[in-house]
Amino acid sequence: MTCEHVKDQLVDYLSEQLPAPEQAAVVAHLADCAACREELATTERVWQTLGQVRTPEPGPGLRPEFYAMLNTFREELKATPDYSLRGLWQWWLNLDVPRPLLRAAYSLCLLGVGLLGGYWLRSRPRADTTQPAELAALTTQVSQMRQMMLLSLIQNPSATERLRAVSYSRELNDPTSKVVTALLSTLDNDPNVNVRLATLEALAPLAADPAVRLGLVQALPRQDSPLVQAALADVMAQLQERRSVAPLRQLLRQPGLDESVKSKIEQTIQTISTGRPAVPSAPLRHDQTFTSPHPEPVAVRAV
């Protein structure tokens, strides 16, 4: 047993409240430890001094003051209405209810409050907090920023950045004439076939614009890639654009024209000339590979 443990038990030792084994252990430790015996002597002196202190007698005014305080409390309790929050709280404090039951009642109250709050929020008419003017202005600013990014990136030497610029055009609800002109110029002049195919894919949904439709027709004789030629032929067939027949026939007269592209152009001319609905097909995306419709593989001329 350590000295600290013994010092903590000295009061219980003096009052003989320790169990017999611990009492014997303290006696054995005190027999060998002079510091603990000194601490015991000090504790005994304090104990004896406290025992000699007289208990003060209650003064003559204690009883009247107590009853006066008791009467005041009773008057306040009577003056508090039973239906008030304070009266309810006093009743709740004086109520002798088992603790588990109190917890269950508290949980049920919280659940009821939550259900009532949720019902009130759902039934409450929602106020329109949107500010139409500010929202429209913000939308316009975002659209203008995208158009500026497009016009800046579409001149970038990196084909990846130009593809990114073309992707911005699909997020524009109403592209400006500058954006349309930049996309048509990219379709005509970009050295990368994938960029031209992505541009055609972005321009096709805008074909309701006469400038876009005319630009697509004029782009036909300027294409030297079989992929772009076939994709443009598909777009012309879907649009039933009769002005494209002459440029398509001009393409057919090109020397060394790929046989699969030639077949595609002939089908397109026939579709437009007869007025029959075009076979449903979407223009080739820039990540697709052009394949020949013939069973035998056909070599594609390198761009």
pLDDT digits (tens, 9 = 90+) for 67-120: 888 888 888 777 665 555 566 666 666 666 566 666 677 677 777 777 777 777
Residue 159 belongs to a domain: no
Reported confidence tier of residue 144, pLDDT bands at 50, 70, 90:
confident
Q: How is residue 243 annotated by DSSP?
A: G
88 is a domain residue: no
Instruction: Give domain status of residue 261, yes or no.
Output: yes
- Among 286, 284, 300, smallest CA distance to 230 is for 284
Structural domain includes residue 24: yes
How far apart CA 293 and CA 91 sit, in angstroms, is 90
Q: How high is the mean pLDDT of the chain?
A: 77
- Torsion sign over Cα 138, 139, 144, 146: positive
Q: What is the pLDDT of residues 182-229, one digit of tens each?
A: 889 999 999 999 989 998 998 898 888 899 999 999 998 888 899 998
Q: SS3 for 179?
A: helix
Inter-residue contact 221 to 234 (CB < 8 Å): no
Model pLDDT, residue 86: 61
Q: pLDDT-based confidence at 165, cuts 50/70/90?
A: confident
Q: What is the pTM of this model?
A: 0.46
Residue numbers of the domain that contains 260: 175-274
State the helix-helix crossing angle for 34-52 and 20-32, rounded to 10 degrees: 120
In a domain, 25, yes or no: yes
Q: Strand runs (DSSP E) across the chain, as ranges? A: none
Percent of the chain with pLDDT over 70: 75
**Residue 206 to residue 187: CA distance in whole angstroms:** 14
Tell whether 80 is covered by a domain: no
Two structure tokens written together for 293: 């419709």
Assess if residue 101 is contained within a domain.
no
Q: How far is CA 175 from CA 78, 85, 136, 178, in A?
A: 79, 66, 16, 8
Domain count, the chain: 2
- Encoded amino acid at 72, one letter: T
The verdict on residue 127 lying in a domain is no
**Per-residue pLDDT reduced to its tens digit, 273-287:** 887 654 444 444 444
Residue 289 reports pLDDT greater than 70: no
